[in-house]
Structure 1
Amino acid sequence: MSLGKEFHSSTMAVLSKEYGYVILTGAASFVMVTHLALNVSNARKKYRVEYPTMYSTDPENGQMFNCIQRAHQNTLEDYPAFLFFLGTSGIYHPRVATGLGMTWVLGRIIYAYGYYTGEPKNRRRGSFASVALLGLVGTAVYAVYEQLGCQFVCRC
């Protein structure tokens, strides 16, 4: 039984041993996100912000709690994209993905601790995390280019 010209064999990407570093980077990111979550939990107790309240309206301590909570929330907003692009770019470029991934993790920690000062502008110290994420996006796009063998032809 023939499947016709549309079916052809393709090569599979084989994960290199170095992909283990990509996996470790993902694990490090989980530890970082968990650390930020624990900081929010501790801040809830300290500033008496009960669940399910997301933000405090307390004029005295609300700013501090909100900064701690927002640092975690903002990290979670980027987290799915980070994990996707880390995992996909690491297939072809595990060293680059690991370097960019660990830069993102470090940047998010610096971002959070800048936010924890109670001055939201101090979060910008970790803005290089966004550059690292863009690097992962670019590396993943390049991996797509390699996976498809440069055949970006639309057959509509």
Structure 2
Amino acid sequence: MVYTVTVPDNYGYVVLVALGLTPVMAFGQGLVSGSLRKPAKVPYPNPYASEQQAKENQAAHKFNCSQRSHGNLLENMPQTMIFMLFAGLEYPTAAAALGVGWLVFRAIYAYGYIQSSKPQGKGRLNGSWFWLMQGGLWALCCATALKMI
């Protein structure tokens, strides 16, 4: 049995961002977290340094920030990828652009969380605009669904 799927022009950009660049971002953040584990002296299988370790050791605090940033990416990545792929069926250019924006703000979020000297990881707030990109993709999904009704 043969199936034919027709996608709009420029849909390749959506696929590139959703299924190409987004996993690369996750892999990169995983590498950063892994590289910070040894200086933090957090043995496997512990996912985080204890609160006491983080208070006494700046490397442990940095590792925790990296782990939390990576965890937040992994929590938001699946639905964002699906949003991009679905919204891109009707709005390929906008979906790809919002996806790239999401990745850029995710990188700023991670950098601010890990490298900032602001207390309680508040450096991450510089990149919190990723929520706007994610919301835009969700809105495009709703618009696409309404067009299908």
On whether the aligned pair clears a TM of 0.5, the verdict is yes
Runs of 4+ more than 6 Å apart: none
- Report the alpha carbon displacement of residue 52 of structure 1 after superposing the two structures with TM: 1.5
| Matched AA of 2:127 | G
| Matched AA of 1:50 | P
Q: For 1:116, what is the secondary structure of its paired residue?
A: helix
Residue ranges of structure 2 left out of the alignment (5+ in a row) = none
| Matched AA of 1:130 | W
Deviations 1:35-68 (A, max 9, x none): 0000011111222212211110212132111011
| Matched AA of 1:73 | G
Does residue 1:137 correspond to 2:138, yes or no? yes
| Matched AA of 1:124 | L
Residue of structure 1 equivalent to 2:113: 115
TM-score, normalised with respect to structure 1: 0.83
| Among 22, 38, 63, the residue aligned to 2:14 | 22
| Matched AA of 1:146 | K
Alpha-carbon distance between aligned partners in 2 of 1:16 and 1:49, rounded to the nearest angstrom: 48
Greater C-alpha Rg: 1
Q: How does 1:67-106 map to 2 (within 5 A)?
A: 67-106=65-104
Give the structure with the larger helix fraction: 2
- Report the alpha carbon displacement of residue 101 of structure 1 after superposing the two structures with TM: 0.4
Residue correspondences, number? 137
Q: For 2:46, what is the secondary structure of its paired residue?
A: coil
- Report the alpha carbon displacement of residue 13 of structure 1 after superposing the two structures with TM: 7.6
Q: For 2:89, what is the secondary structure of its paired residue?
A: helix
Deviations 1:116-143 (A, max 9, x none): 1253111001111010000000000000
Residue ranges of structure 1 left out of the alignment (5+ in a row) = 1-11, 149-156
Cα RMSD after superposing both structures: 1.5
Does residue 1:45 correspond to 2:38, yes or no? yes
Residue of structure 1 equivalent to 2:25: 32
